[in-house]
Amino acid sequence: MSSLAIIPARGGSKRIPRKNIREFRGEPILWYPIRAAKQVFDRVVVSTEDEEIARFAIKGGAEVIQRPMELADDITPSGEVIAHAADVMPDYDIVGCIYPTSVFATPQLLRKAVNELGDANCIFTVVKYDHPIQRALKSEGGLVQFANEDFRNVRTQDCEPRYHDAGQLFVMRREPLVRTRNLYSERMKPIIVNESEIQDIDTLEDWHNAEMKYEMLHGRVVERR
């Protein structure tokens, strides 16, 4: 089956200005997912409204889809952006969404996602909650209480593991994606990854944490900026 990788990279990041083309370990961070995706998918495109990001994407080896401005604010769901790109390039059975700061989305991980999609509509990376979410506490009026009283006296080791979206990558069948305009589908599979293999990058502290994790995994230290 033919496959298309879409990297959504808008230009309006606020907490880390120009985040999607900021230098990460010597080169624009956007180039990491482009390089990985090109080893797995038939075609790799970057969806952006930003001319500078578009130039970096092309230099990094990707094609570019012009994203409409109404899909370029910070509240537009990713599903709408990826579905728009899939509409522009309709000749692909499998569609990947790889976020532009996903430096840990290796070719091996992307290939695993494509190969293990099977009869599901969607597969994506997840990570286990560090502490059982069943024993979560909530704060009201300066006091705390259990969010779920049924687990007040349940030992943490007896709680079934729970997972959350790693915010890294999705691989989907095109039809349910364009029909629902949503990355999540009625038949979803997980790829469980370790906390050391993911990092949300929303602040400079997150950025440095990502660099440290990358160094630990790849064994090469770079000078801090």
Q: Which amino acid is at 213?
A: K
Output the pTM of the full model. Answer: 0.92
Q: How far is CA 170 from the centre of its chain?
A: 7
| Residue extents of the structural domains in the chain | 3-128+163-218
Per-residue confidence in pLDDT tens, the chain, 225 aa: 899 999 999 998 888 999 999 999 999 999 999 999 999 999 999 999 999 999 999 999 999 999 999 999 989 999 999 999 999 999 999 999 999 999 999 999 999 999 999 999 999 999 999 999 999 999 999 999 999 999 999 999 999 999 999 999 999 999 999 999 999 999 999 999 999 999 999 999 999 999 999 999 886 544 443
**8 Å CB contact between 127 and 163:** yes
Each residue's pLDDT tens digit, 171-181 = 999 999 999 99
DSSP string for residues in 36-64: HHHTTSSEEEEEES-HHHHHHHHHTT-EE
Separation CA 82–CA 221 (nearest Å): 35
**8 Å CB contact between 59 and 78:** no
Q: Which fold has domain 3-128+163-218?
A: Spore Coat Polysaccharide Biosynthesis Protein SpsA; Chain A (3.90.550)
Q: How crowded is residue 184: how many other Cβ atoms within 10 Å of its Cβ?
A: 15
Q: How crowded is residue 6: how many other Cβ atoms within 10 Å of its Cβ?
A: 29
| SS3 track for 180-198 | HCCCCCCCEEEEECCHHHC
**8 Å CB contact between 86 and 178:** yes
